[in-house]
Chain A
């Protein structure tokens, strides 16, 4: 954590919080499409919630697909052999 984030005193300045909030906003997909003018905190937090949930779902989905791909691969194919060797390492 950079020193600019939170001071050791315990008092976190308004600016730091605003900086964090704008950083978070930059991560969200919704703010990329349109010009991110306003940063209503409530809406931002709500979007973060939904975004995190959708990311969770996406990761689960992708992992499922990958594991399916793994299981359907031909066992004797070279690819499977490589995967097994890598798994062993």
Chain B
């Protein structure tokens, strides 16, 4: 058959050059009179116009059986598999590409038909993948609602496991994205470790936001100042500036800072922490003065500030101040604060804090 094909090939080549006389002579010589027209047509199509072959993949199938397949294949064999895959890809749902070689000839691709597509072949993966990528891209443009999955070597190919694999790939893609978002996640490997990191990070972010927003809400010291001034009027003006009261409150909150900084490496928290700590303190003052449950006020405020690692450091300071306000009474408030402030200062150990007393 090969010999015959070779002869036919040469004859096909020759046919294009021959004129009618020689054509008829050759026909008679070989006795293929009936087949020549078909052969010429097919050969002409195969050699000249690949598009024709592409347009009719079924014709290409028919070509396989003919003797011209070997000859014509040399010309359009390279193009045909791509177009064949295109046509087939558009038709099928889960397009798993045949793993056979591209240049293996039509018979290999066409003969198994669709069965080939569903059977992943351990062949030249790279070439087939290159073809399948191109084909998949073309097919994806046509049908976007189908997911094109590549069946890898040695993996099961039934629809369930494929869907499972798609799901797993999506999850791992999201995990990778999360890994980029969460700092320090690169060192940890494994799902559980990463999840743990992510949980911690989300919690710390939440606390950060809560802390910042609370500070902003509390950091309108002007308002609080007015209230305190109105309440105590003369006494505040007599004694040291209200600033004196503030540090007393601010100190414990000031302690909040370093622990906050340890927790969150955000630098802009630092100056803002200072600003709002004053307001914070004043709120505490107001709360303590008004509410009968003075002891509970600082405690209730402290948990919300439990961002820091040491809420315990805050509470005793505030408690001291709160009780001082209560025990000493409003008229002695400021002097009471003085005393308490000194004790607070010693508690909080702020050496460089100079107060005009």
Say yes or no: is A73 at the interface (Cβ < 8 Å to chain B).
yes
Please give, as numbers and ranges, the residues of chain B lying within 8 Å of A28 by CB-CB distance.
202
B214 to A, closest residue via Cβ? A62
Total chain A interface residues with beta-carbon distance under 8 A: 46
Are B198 and A48 interface neighbours, CB within 8 A? yes
Are A69 and B182 interface neighbours, CB within 8 A? no
Separation of A79 and B219 alpha carbons in the complex (Å) = 10
Are B271 and A87 interface neighbours, CB within 8 A? yes
Please give, as numbers and ranges, the residues of chain A lying within 8 Å of B266 by CB-CB distance.
59, 63
Partner of A49, one of B177, B209, B222: B177
Interface residues of B in 163-198 (CB under 8 A from A): 167, 170-171, 174-175, 177-178, 181-182, 190-193, 195-196, 198
A43 to B, closest residue via Cβ? B174
Total chain B interface residues with beta-carbon distance under 8 A: 57
User: Known: A55-B209, A86-B250. Is A70-B170 also a contact (CB below 8 A)?
Assistant: no
CB proximity of B240 to chain A, nearest CB, Å: 10
Say yes or no: is B201 at the interface (Cβ < 8 Å to chain A).
yes
User: Known: A12-B190, A82-B247, A89-B350. Is A42-B272 also a contact (CB below 8 A)?
Assistant: no
Separation of A81 and B191 alpha carbons in the complex (Å) = 49
Are A67 and B175 interface neighbours, CB within 8 A? no
Separation of A63 and B271 alpha carbons in the complex (Å) = 10
Separation of A69 and B341 alpha carbons in the complex (Å) = 27
CB proximity of B252 to chain A, nearest CB, Å: 12
Say yes or no: is A39 at the interface (Cβ < 8 Å to chain B).
no
Separation of A86 and B270 alpha carbons in the complex (Å) = 10
Please give, as numbers and ranges, the residues of chain A lying within 8 Å of B177 by CB-CB distance.
49
Say yes or no: is B269 at the interface (Cβ < 8 Å to chain A).
yes
CB proximity of A61 to chain B, nearest CB, Å: 9
Separation of A64 and B268 alpha carbons in the complex (Å) = 8
User: Known: A82-B250, A87-B271, A89-B352. Is A5-B196 also a contact (CB below 8 A)?
Assistant: yes
User: Known: A58-B209, A62-B216, A85-B353. Is A20-B199 also a contact (CB below 8 A)?
Assistant: yes
Pick from B137-145, B152-160, B273-281 the stretch touching chain A: B273-281
Interface residues of B in 205-233 (CB under 8 A from A): 205-206, 208-209, 212-213, 215-216, 219, 221-222, 225
Are A55 and B205 interface neighbours, CB within 8 A? yes
Partner of B242, one of A49, A66, A78, A85: A78
CB proximity of B58 to chain A, nearest CB, Å: 41
User: Known: A45-B175, A59-B212, A66-B216. Is A17-B192 also a contact (CB below 8 A)?
Assistant: yes
Interface residues of A in 26-52 (CB under 8 A from B): 27-28, 41-42, 45-46, 48-49, 51-52
Say yes or no: is B257 at the interface (Cβ < 8 Å to chain A).
yes
Please give, as numbers and ranges, the residues of chain B lying within 8 Å of A9 by CB-CB distance.
none
Separation of A16 and B194 alpha carbons in the complex (Å) = 12
Are A27 and B203 interface neighbours, CB within 8 A? yes
Say yes or no: is B106 at the interface (Cβ < 8 Å to chain A).
no
Partner of A24, one of B199, B212, B275: B199
Separation of A74 and B208 alpha carbons in the complex (Å) = 26
A-B interface, 7 closest residue pairs, ranked by CB to CB distance from nearest:
A66-B272, A78-B243, A45-B174, A62-B212, A20-B195, A83-B274, A63-B268
Q: Could you jot down 16 A-B contacts, CB within 8 Å?
A: A17-B192, A27-B203, A42-B171, A66-B268, A66-B272, A67-B268, A67-B271, A79-B275, A82-B243, A82-B246, A82-B274, A84-B274, A85-B354, A86-B274, A87-B274, A89-B254
